Amino acid sequence: MLVFIIKRLLVAIPVLLILVVGTFILMYTAPGSPFATERGIPPAVLANLEAQYGLDQPFVVQIWRYITGIVTEFDFGPSFIYRDQNVNDLIGQGFPVTLTYGFWSFVVAVIIGGALGILAAVKHNTWLDYLAVGISIGAQVLPNFVLAPILVLVFTLWLGWLPGGGWQGGQWQYIILPVIALSTSFMASIARISRASMLEVLTSNFIRTARAKGLPMHRVIFRHALKPALLPVISYLGPAFVGMITGSVVIDIYFSTGGIGQFFVASALNRDYGVMMGITVLLGTLTILFNLLVDILYAWIDPKIRY
């Protein structure tokens, strides 16, 4: 297992390098510049700004300086729009917010989605199964960009129970609506996957043997059926967690939480190359890291797997 982890980490280096170079090329080949939106800016001032940020250098020099800064100093460079902050400051400001409600969204999606799927499989073709499937389908057809304004409309404007935006240091009343909006569709996917997997496991020969020996149903479920049924769910959890982090773009816009999503959108609109690159590298690193964790959990749950 240790050799496998080392190999995966070594493979991650060229993957991240390709990600950085590809994103760099796409941004710098697009027409315009971060300062093109400034009205009436003299050409001499524009040339001085580009020289200050190194945009007048050849493309190879720019990308080499950028990669060198990341590797040697873990520095993602300056922001072209937020003049008093660099990219590291913006990520350090927004990522803890995104990680907070992303983590709780992940917990809610796994617990509720897994419970719904297992309950639907155990009570197959009963009203509980139909109810769980109905909830999953309803949650699946409501993506976060549709659900977020509905939640604000109902719980903030109509009922007045919860605030419709802000963060206030992560107080619980400001977390509830973002967590619901972000976790719902992932919860539905987990419920569908766990239900299908549990139904398949419950028809296996070793489950029939356990039930034929007179074991109680709850022991059959938790001691024999649960671990193999979780394998497809575990495979989904790595991309799901990263998807919740990237899905924070919509959540930040609707709820004004102050996470990295708003910086990501602003950087794309304003051609803030440094912020765009920094968040892209961060999300790529998270994707590789959590896929590695999923592989490790997969081998722990199923001892037959050998990497």
Mean pLDDT for the stretch of residues 26-32: 73
Model pLDDT, residue 33: 66
pTM: 0.81
The string of pLDDT tens digits covering residues 74-113 is 778 788 777 777 888 888 888 888 888 888 988 999 999 9
Rounded Cα distance between 85 and 96, Å, is 17
Model pLDDT, residue 218: 78
Whether the per-residue pLDDT at 307 is higher than 60: the answer is no
